[in-house]
Amino acid sequence: MERLRDEGYNRREARALARAIEDFLTRPVPPLEEAGSRVDLAPFEVLRESERMKPEALRWREAFAEARVLIERGDPGALEQAYDRLTLSARAFPDSPIAGECHRLRAAILARQGHPEEAERERLRSVEHYVGGAGLTK
């Protein structure tokens, strides 16, 4: 711990780290296997997980895309439908960046519907629980 207070030590560490990064970035990139490679690998277990998922969960990305279109329409009925689809998407994969975006969009819908307290709660959830809390919405 004491050596972290030593300016000379910190400079040596910084130089060593910079050399390591430079060395890594200047190495040639290994060749990629062509599509249709003869390498036979079993699929990752996680890729077969969808076989056990409920149909609602499998629709998470579709529900998110539908919500974005409905938000563009902007009429009250479309916003209500968008809110429901965002809820479905966020519940299907609650730890994903898309779920964070769902909460940000839900906050915007709640604000447009005149529910500022609920909107603020959703906004805080998106900032406090998801990486990139600033949002993906444009």
Residue linked to tokens 């966020």: 90
pLDDT for the residue 137: 42
Residue of 38 and 89 predicted with greater confidence: 89
In which band, very low, low, confident or very high, does the pLDDT at 29 lie, cut at 50, 70 and 90? Answer: confident
- Nearest Cα neighbor of 89 from 50, 62, 71, 129 is 62
Amino acid letter, residue 36: G
Q: Percentage of the chain surpassing pLDDT 90? A: 38
In which band, very low, low, confident or very high, does the pLDDT at 135 lie, cut at 50, 70 and 90? Answer: very low
Residue of 88 and 135 predicted with greater confidence: 88
Q: Percentage of the chain surpassing pLDDT 70? A: 75
Residue linked to tokens 């030593």: 6
Q: What tokens does 96 get?
A: 């994903």
What mean pLDDT do residues 96-123 have? 92
What mean pLDDT do residues 128-134 have? 68
Max Cα–Cα distance, the chain, nearest Å: 65
37: left (phi over 0), alpha (psi -120 to 50) or beta: beta
Which pLDDT tens digit goes with each residue over 34-60? 666 666 656 555 555 556 666 766 778
* Residue 89 DSSP SS3: helix
pLDDT for the residue 3: 80
